């Protein structure tokens, strides 16, 4: 009998009761705007920022409307101007080059390795050119961290400011250092499919007082910056407040109320994601034709999604695997499809920027299979999913060349 998986790859866990109660509390008093606070009240957004800063070990934090907004704000805050070039990953999600384009800058892509991380040799080669870009927006795409020590050494030596896109690495670490704490700015998304869920939302952290002040001004704080609890001193704001535009993208107290209890649970959730990830990974190991992504010892990842490679497979055979898995309830996403579908576009789909051919990255992108691992899956679900993928990959592989 062939088994069929019946779970949903898009169903996250419900919002915790404590968070629901906190949200209801905000609705009862009606002060949803972050700067609408009663006498002596800090407000949920300011408290969220304070708690997130402490959790990440950062002096400054800002909560905003989305992850993409956090990325664009970070670019503006570090001084990116229209027409500037910004380095970023060829393998990432559309909001990353989108944030670069939103400030009138031009993305310049760096390749992807078989480990699904930024190709540091490619980066090194691009940094040798005299007028190379001065900012790297590094996307830890699908939770894979590159050698952050080498990356920071390369960027520091070339005077390149690093903004980290931690949409898939909230809670992850490289060499013991939290993702988001290596570069000048760390950006996070609180959208439903990420590690905490407020529907929409974003967070930004930094150690740099001027970046923090600019980001707070940019986010739409009017001249209410003194209401922020993890912000630089007023002297820093005095220096930037007349030159920094107000580009409203604030978070509201309702979302912040939902997020605070979730952040307190983050470590436990990370552990649960990793149990599921490891169950699937174990089940996929030693499948002929399928390459498991080996995670380095120095990386503490968050297994909220899993990838594997069908390296050098033909389109027909990959499509056969996708179809056969789908027929058994297993939804795989493919980054190599000739046309971008749903979330899986790639550098050559973003045609607002000129992109040279990247054959080495094309080979990897062509083979990337991706799957979400929602916490609503049980460990047995994960084992079953792995059995199904394994059987279908083997069946197609054995059928010979397409
Ligand atoms: C989701 C995501 C973002 C942007 O987050 P939004 O909150 O959806 O704007 C940025 N980068 C990556 C890799 C993402 O997956």
Instruction: Identify whether 144 is part of a domain.
Output: yes
Last residue of a domain, one of 264, 285, 316: 264
Interatomic CA distance for residues 271 and 281, integer angstroms: 15
Contact 71, 187 (CB under 8 A): yes
Nearest to 367 by CA among 402, 337, 328: 337
SS (H, E, C) 330-378: CCCEECCCCCCECCECCHHHCCCCCCCCCHHHHHHHHHEEEEECCCCCC
Mean pLDDT across the chain: 96
The answer on 109 and 233 residing in a single domain is yes
Whether residues 48 and 136 share a domain: the answer is: yes
- The reply to whether ligand 1 has any atom less than 6 angstroms from the CB of 219 is no
Give 93 Cα–ligand 1 centroid separation in angstroms: 7
Tell whether ligand 1 has an atom less than 6 A from the beta carbon of residue 183: no
- Model confidence at 345, pLDDT cuts 50, 70, 90, reads confident
Q: Which atom of ligand 1 is nearest to the CA of 68?
A: 9
Q: Is 93 in the pocket of ligand 1 (CB under 6 A)?
A: yes
Question: Do 191 and 99 fall into the same domain?
Answer: yes
Model confidence at 140: pLDDT above 90: yes
Residue 11 lies in a domain: no
Residue range 197-221: average pLDDT? 98
What pairs with residue 307 in β-bridges?
370
- Give the pLDDT confidence of 216-264 residue by residue, as tens digits: 999 999 999 999 999 999 999 999 999 999 999 999 999 999 999 999 9
**Which residue has its alpha carbon closest to ligand 1 atom 7?**
67
Distance 95 CA to ligand 1 centre (A): 6
pLDDT of residue 354: 86
Residues 207 and 236 in one domain: yes
Report whether residue 165 contacts ligand 1, using a CB cutoff of 6 Å.
yes
Q: Which atom of ligand 1 is nearest to the CA of 69?
A: 9
Q: What is the CATH number of the domain that holds 273?
A: 3.90.1150.10
Residue 154 confidence class, pLDDT cut points 50, 70, 90: very high
Give pLDDT, residue 328.
98
2 CA from centroid of ligand 1 (Å): 36
Write out pLDDT tens, residues 16-46. 999 999 999 999 999 999 999 999 999 999 9
Answer whether residue 50 is part of any domain: yes
User: In a mutational test of the pocket of ligand 1, which residue from 65, 66, 68 has the highest number of ligand atoms less than 8 Å from its CB?
Assistant: 68
* Cα distance between the two ends of the chain: 27
* Residue whose C-alpha is closest to residue 250's, from 205, 220, 213, 218: 220
Would residue 8 count as lying in a domain? no
187 CA closest ligand 1 atom index = 10
Distance from the CA of 51 to the center of ligand 1, in angstroms?
22
What is residue 399's predicted lDDT score, i.e. its pLDDT? Answer: 84
Same-domain status, 278 and 348: yes
For range 286-314, the mean pLDDT: 97
Q: Tell me what the mean pLDDT of segment 346-360 comes to.
A: 90
Residue 2 lies in a domain: no
Mean pLDDT, rounded, for 117-122 = 98
Q: Is the pLDDT of residue 106 over 90?
A: yes
Same domain, 170 and 289: no
Name the pLDDT band for 402 (thresholds 50, 70, 90). Answer: low
Q: What is the CATH number of the domain that holds 92?
A: 3.40.640.10
The model's pTM = 0.97
Q: Are residues 248 and 106 in the same domain?
A: yes
Reply yes or no on whether the pLDDT at 273 is more than 90: yes
At residue 73, the pLDDT reads 98
Question: CA-CA distance, 306 to 227, in Å (whole number)?
Answer: 40
Dihedral sign computed on CA atoms, order 45, 48, 52, 54: positive
- Compute the distance from residue 68 Cα to the ligand 1 centre, in Å: 6
Residue 151 structural domain: 17-264
Residues 6+ apart with CB under 8 A from 132: 87, 126, 158, 160
Which ligand 1 atom is the nearest neighbour of the CA of 200?
7
126 and 186 together in one domain: yes
Q: Which residue has the tokens 């700067």?
A: 35
The model's confidence at residue 1, banded by pLDDT at 50, 70 and 90, is: low
Same domain, 147 and 233: yes
Is the sign of the CA dihedral 133, 135, 140, 146 positive or negative?
positive
The stretch 269-286 carries a mean pLDDT of: 98
Strands (E), 273-328: 291-292, 299-300, 305-309
Cβ(61)–Cβ(50) below 8 Å: yes
Q: Residue 89 has what pLDDT?
A: 97
Tell whether 12 is covered by a domain: no
Question: Which of the listed residues 264, 295, 314 is the one where a domain comes to its end?
Answer: 264
In a domain, 4, yes or no: no
Is there a single domain that holds both residue 171 and residue 277? no
Share of the chain above pLDDT 90, in %: 94
- Residues in a beta bridge with 344: 341
- Cβ of 191 closer than 6 Å to ligand 1, yes or no, is yes
Domain boundary among 264, 287, 320: 264
CB of 305 closer than 6 angstroms to any ligand 1 atom: no
Is the beta carbon of 386 within 6 A of some atom in ligand 1? no
Tally of domains within the chain: 2
pLDDT at position 310 is 97
Q: Looking at residue 401, what is its pLDDT?
A: 60
Tell whether 10 is covered by a domain. Answer: no
> Is the minimum distance from the CB of 161 to ligand 1 under 6 angstroms?
no
**Residues 37, 114 share a domain:** yes
Whether residues 157 and 219 share a domain: the answer is: yes
Ligand 1: atom nearest CA of 142 is 13
How far apart CA 334 and CA 319 sit, in angstroms, is: 9
- Residue entry with tokens 């046309």: 339
Q: Percent of the chain having pLDDT more than 70?
A: 99
CA 156 to centroid of ligand 1, rounded, Å: 26
Q: Is the CB of 95 under 6 A from ligand 1?
A: yes
Q: What is the pLDDT of residue 338?
A: 85
């Amino acid at each position: 009998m062939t088994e069929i998986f019946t779970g949903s790859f898009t169903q996250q866990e419900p919002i915790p009761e404590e968070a629901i109660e906190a949200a209801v509390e905000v609705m009862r008093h009606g002060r949803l705007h972050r700067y609408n606070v009663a006498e002596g009240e800090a407000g949920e957004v300011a408290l969220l920022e304070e708690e997130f800063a402490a959790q990440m070990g950062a002096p400054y934090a800002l909560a905003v409307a989305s992850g993409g907004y956090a990325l664009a704000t970070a670019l503006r805050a570090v001084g990116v101007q229209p027409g500037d070039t910004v380095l970023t990953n060829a393998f990432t999600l559309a909001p990353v080059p989108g944030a670069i384009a939103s400030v009138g800058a031009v993305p310049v892509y760096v390749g992807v390795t078989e480990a699904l991380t930024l190709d540091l040799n490619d980066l090194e080669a691009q940094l040798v050119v005299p007028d190379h870009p001065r900012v790297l927006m590094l996307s830890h795409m699908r939770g894979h961290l590159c050698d952050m020590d080498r990356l920071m050494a390369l960027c520091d030596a070339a005077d390149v400011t690093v903004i980290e896109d931690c949409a898939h690495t909230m809670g992850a670490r490289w060499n013991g250092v939290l993702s988001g704490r290596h570069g000048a700015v760390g950006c996070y998304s609180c959208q439903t499919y990420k590690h905490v869920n407020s529907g929409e939302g974003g967070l930004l952290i930094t150690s740099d007082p001027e970046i923090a002040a600019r980001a707070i001004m940019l986010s739409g704080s009017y001249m209410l910056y003194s209401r922020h609890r993890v912000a630089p001193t007023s002297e820093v704001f005095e220096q930037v407040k007349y030159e920094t535009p107000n580009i409203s993208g604030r978070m509201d107290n309702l979302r912040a109320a939902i997020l605070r209890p979730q952040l307190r649970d983050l470590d436990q959730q990370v552990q649960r994601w990793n149990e599921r990830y490891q169950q699937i990974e174990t089940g996929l190991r030693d499948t002929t034709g399928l390459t498991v992504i080996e995670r380095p010892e120095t990386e503490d990842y968050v297994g909220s999604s899993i990838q594997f490679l069908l390296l050098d497979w033909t389109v027909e055979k990959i499509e056969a695997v996708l179809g056969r898995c789908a027929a058994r309830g297993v939804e795989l996403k493919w980054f190599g499809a000739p046309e971008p579908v749903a979330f899986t576009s790639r550098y050559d789909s973003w045609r607002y920027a000129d992109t040279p051919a990247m054959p080495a990255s094309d080979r990897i992108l062509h083979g990337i299979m991706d799957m979400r691992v929602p916490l609503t899956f049980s460990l047995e679900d994960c084992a079953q999913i792995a059995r199904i993928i394994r059987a279908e990959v083997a069946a197609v592989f054995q059928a010979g060349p397409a």
